[in-house]
Amino acid sequence: MNVLRTLRQTTRNLRNYLADEHVSLMPFIKDLKSYNRAKWKADFHAAVNVALLDIPQGMAYATIAELPIAFGVTCSIAASIISPFFSGSRHTILGPTNATALMLFGFFAADPILAARETQVVPFMVLMVGIFCLIGALLRVADLLQYISRSVLVGYVTGAAVLIMANQSKHLLGIAYEVDQFRARSFIGLADAMARSLHAAAWQPILIGGFTLLLFLSLRRWKPKWPSQVIVLVLASAIFGTLHHRQLAGFEHVAMFRTFTLGDLIPSWPDLHATGVFEIVSATLGGALGLAFLACLENTIMVKTIASRTGDRPDVNQDMFALGMANIASSLVGGMTASGSPVRSMLNFTQGAQTRFSSLYSGLTVLTAALIIAWLPRYGISLIDYVPKAAVGALILGIAVRLFNLHNIRVCLRTTPDDAMVLIATFAATLIAPLHVAIFIGVALSITFFLRKASRPFLAEYEFNEAGELREMAEKRQRPISSISIVHVEGDLFFGAAELFRTQIQRAVSDPALRIIILRLKNARHLDATSVLALEDLIKFMRSKELHLIVSGATKEVYRVLKKSGVLLTLQEGCNRRAGESNLFLTSPRNPNISTRNALKRAQQLLGDGKAQVRIFYDPTKHSPE
């Protein structure tokens, strides 16, 4: 019967949890009901501007990941079209990003065997990323991301910027083939490979990269509102692509992109029946988990940043659900990992987008452009074939430079030693370890420092002053009643603090004159199984020494936890309930000291001293409810 009761209670708790923490499957309905022509014009105007940026960035991020450019373009299309139907933010633009592209590159750079099958493996990884995000949204994992120090992301992005610049420099120098032969797995290995390959450098790609980078930085400075990436890429392709195809001045040897075809844009979902599929899943599980975590963290920060400017209320778990759906859609069309793009999302906001449908229009615009580009080779026109890899590499370098946020780095280094250590450790890990491992190193260190701080509950002994008010007792003062100690507990009593809480109380009972401890749980929070078991062990420990434990100021939440766990029965052992005896006294909303007064009366009853009086003073202008 006890087993059945436990199963029923567990099922009821799970059902209530899912009912309270659900995500909406059709959040777009509310925007659709109030949609009008004015909103459509604003959304479409913003969508066109975002689409102009989407295409070159999709190519650039696929290049960072060492994937065919079609992977970046199809990801932009699928993520932008699918995400607005499920997102909580109205300005979110999902697609490939610097951080996720670099993590993909780092994952395959660390495993040459998987790298040989990269185009087959990526859809599996992206599918798993989507599934992880959906599960995380249902479990409201996004709420927990606030406990990850910002220093982790700053350190990771800074290290990623260094890797991006080092990896793209091989295209600017024209030594990509020579460097790739070394199969470098870290920044140090990449730097060594480049140093060994410098003898093969050519002036043509250096000229292309220098021209592109100089023009890009100039436009960003003098005309920041112009779509500088598009303008620079078109100009560089027109000039140097023409020189390449006419085989002038040695430019025929410059590496160029190869255009994608209609076949590359046809949906090609992961082949779940392929030979060795379970081995692929097992080998990529850690990388997919790292990608999912990074994408959710990046998306959450982006959503909150834009919400702070729009005044919208962010629903980060709903956005995590949209991220999961977008990655599943990307995997079905052969795209790379999707995340929340800070640049394109902010552009969408600044260009006046009113609703979530601007993302849909942007995706449809990119799809139309991609179909045109893929169709033109049938008429002998291959636009992508005119794009030099050195030009895209230079654009990526220009983007990577902006990832060095000196202000954020300075703040993290100066604020606390913990923040500085987390940033430095994460940055160093990105240069030494695979990126999906590096981010977890930073996260683990950040959580360790957080738990070290959070797992120290505040315990102080209290007494009543002459006016009948509770106050913290000075160290050198003796207790008014030597056999009774009133201990105030404040802080989180979760699993990390439970053992410390128990040992501190056990140290308190070492006083030979002490007979009873009254625990004031007025501000104790987050009791879990570990802390409840620690409390039960403490009760049994005290009773073994013929001591008593009384709880006062308990909230309804504390009462429910103790009752459901069965520890309340242990606490109430020896009480004559018919006579009104109890070892647990709930907080009173009107009088903050009444529960402690009742606990003191119970303590005097246990001591056999019924004559002592306890005075309680209450002034509603000076006290807030417990």
Q: HEC string of 226-258?
A: CCHHHHHHHHHHHHHHHHHHCCCCCHHHCCECC
Dihedral (CA of 440, 442, 448, 453) sign:
negative
CA quadruple 188, 189, 194, 196: dihedral positive or negative? positive
Across 338-434, the runs of DSSP E, i.e. the strands, are 339-340
- The structure tokens listed for 492 are 């989180």
How high is the pLDDT of residue 542? 84
Task: Give residues with Cβ within 8 angstroms of 271, minimum separation 6.
Answer: 120, 277
Averaged confidence pLDDT in the chain = 82
Q: Which residues of 311-333 are buried (b: 16+ CB within 10 A; e: fewer)?
A: eeebbbbbbbbbbbbbbbbbbbb
| Of 7 and 592, more confident | 7
Lowest-pLDDT choice from 30-34, 484-488, 606-610: 606-610
**Tell me, which fold does domain 458-607 have in CATH?**
Transcription Regulator spoIIAA (3.30.750)
pLDDT for res 623: 39
Q: Among the ranges 105-109, 388-392, 502-506, 584-588, which has the highest mean pLDDT value?
A: 388-392
Mean per-residue pLDDT, 396-407 = 81
If phi over 0 gives left and psi between -120 and 50 gives alpha, with beta otherwise, what is residue 609?
A: beta
Q: Residue 520 and residue 594: Cα distance in Å, rounded?
A: 12
Cα 493 to Cα 18, 202, 497, 526: the distances in Å are 25, 64, 5, 6
Higher pLDDT residue, 17 or 362?
362
Q: How far apart (Å, rounded) are the C-alpha atoms in residues 409 and 406?
A: 5
pLDDT tens, 273-322? 777 788 888 889 989 998 998 899 888 877 877 887 777 888 888 999 99
- CB-CB contact of 83 with 325 (8 Å): yes
**Helix 495-508 vs helix 529-544: angle between axes, to the nearest 10 degrees?**
20
Rounded-to-integer distance, Cα 185 and Cα 109, Å: 5
- Residue 335 scores a pLDDT above 80: yes
C-beta atoms surrounding 379 within 10 Å: 7
Question: When comparing pLDDT for 345 and 465, which is higher?
Answer: 345
pTM of this prediction? 0.70
Summarize pLDDT for 103-112 with one digit per residue, the tens.
Answer: 888 888 778 7
Count, residues in the chain: 626
pLDDT (tens digit per residue) in 433-464: 877 788 889 888 988 887 776 655 555 555 55
User: Among 365, 409, 342, which residue's Cα sits nearest to residue 98?
Assistant: 342
Q: Is the pLDDT of residue 386 over 90?
A: yes
> Domain coordinates of the chain in residue numbers?
37-450, 458-607
The residues near 258 (Cβ < 8 Å, ≥ 6 apart) are 68, 384, 385
Question: What is the pLDDT at residue 471?
Answer: 54
Question: How would you class 512 by CB atoms within 10 Å of its CB: exposed for 0-12, middle for 13-18, buried for 19 or more?
Answer: exposed
pLDDT of residue 462: 56
CB 333 within 8 Å of CB 184:
no
Greater pLDDT, 168 or 198: 198
- Cα atoms in the Cβ-side hemisphere of radius 13 Å centred on 310: 22
Specify whether the CB–CB gap between 397 and 168 falls below 8 A: yes
Tokens found for residue 517: 């401890």
- Distance between CA atoms of residues 204 and 254, nearest Å: 7
Structure tokens that stand for 599 in this block = 């606990």
Mean pLDDT of 259-272: 80
| Distance set, CA 197 to CA 109, 143, 396, 498 (Å) | 18, 47, 21, 57
- Structure tokens belonging to residue 405: 């946020």
- CB within 8 A of 526, min separation 6: which ones? 492, 493, 494
Binning pLDDT at 50, 70 and 90, where does residue 484 land? confident
Residues linked to residue 554 through DSSP beta bridges, in sequence order: 586
Amino acid, single-letter form, for residue 544: S
